Structure formats: structure tokens, C-alpha cells
């Protein structure tokens, strides 16, 4: 597998996006069974299914890192060109913030939840 070089800021943004995705995957555990099952269904479908609703927005990441949203957006675009994040693609004519999701996180979270016996195979 090819290693991708990342700057310190790219690492920080990617790590924060992964934290947001992880938090969203665990959000409804033991609180709202139906909503948790819906998130699990998205995880089984893969990364693209998780982007909307479980991903992070540029201003969320910017607020957590204490930087500007435009700066985070440009980093997201660079990470996308490197194949490390996905951008929500639905409703292209609708002007609003887009969700972002780290590539490979859905499979990682599904395996993690399955190992904790929170998911039935």
C-alpha cells in the first residue's frame, strides 16, 4: 500500500474528522435503538453511505481546532485529492455546507462495534 505524505495540519484535520465520525457512530448506543440500527446499516453499506449525517462539517472541525472554516475546507479538498476523505455529493444544486468522511472509517467502526458485541453479524 502506498504511503501518503501529509502535513501537520492535514493530520490534525483528518484526526479530528475521524473523532467526529466515531462520536456520531456511538451517539445513539443504548439511547435510541432505532437510530443506532440506522447508523449501523449505514456502516455496513460503507463509507459513501456514512458521509451524510455521520460525517463532519468544515466549520465543526475548524471550531474544534481553533482555526477558520475556509482553511479546513482547503485541507479537506487536498485530502480528497489524495483519496483520504469523501465529500457528500447529494443535491449538487443546493448551496449548503457539505459533510466529509474519512475513507475506511466505516469498516473500522463496524468491526469495532462488532468486537464489542454491540452488533449482530
Q: In 27-108, at which residue ranges do the beta strands (DSSP E only) sit? A: 85-87, 100-102
Q: What is the CATH number of domain 8-115?
A: 1.10.10.10
- Mean confidence (pLDDT) of the chain: 87
> What is the longest distance spanned by two Cα atoms in the chain?
41
pLDDT digits (tens, 9 = 90+) for 82-120: 999 999 887 667 777 789 999 999 999 998 887 775 545
* Cell numbers given for 54: 455521520
Q: In 1-121, at which residue ranges do the beta strands (DSSP E only) sit? A: 85-87, 100-102
Is the model's pTM score more than 0.85? yes
Q: Is pLDDT of 39 > 60? A: yes
Check: CB of residue 57 under 8 Å from CB of residue 116: no
Q: Is pLDDT of 18 > 50? A: yes
What are the domain boundaries of the chain?
Answer: 8-115
Q: What is the pLDDT of residue 121?
A: 46
Amino acid at each position: 500500500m502506498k504511503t501518503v505524505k501529509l502535513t501537520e495540519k492535514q493530520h490534525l484535520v483528518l484526526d479530528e474528522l475521524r473523532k467526529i465520525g466515531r462520536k456520531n457512530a456511538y451517539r445513539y448506543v443504548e439511547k435510541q435503538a432505532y437510530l443506532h440500527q440506522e447508523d449501523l446499516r449505514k456502516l455496513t453499506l460503507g463509507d459513501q453511505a456514512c458521509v451524510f449525517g455521520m460525517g463532519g462539517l468544515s466549520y465543526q472541525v475548524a471550531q474544534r481546532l481553533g482555526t477558520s472554516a475556509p482553511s479546513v475546507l482547503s485541507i479537506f479538498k487536498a485530502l480528497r485529492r489524495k483519496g483520504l476523505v469523501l465529500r457528500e455529493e447529494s443535491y449538487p444544486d443546493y448551496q449548503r455546507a457539505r459533510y466529509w468522511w474519512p475513507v475506511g472509517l466505516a469498516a473500522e467502526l463496524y468491526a469495532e462495534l462488532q468486537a464489542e458485541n454491540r452488533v449482530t453479524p
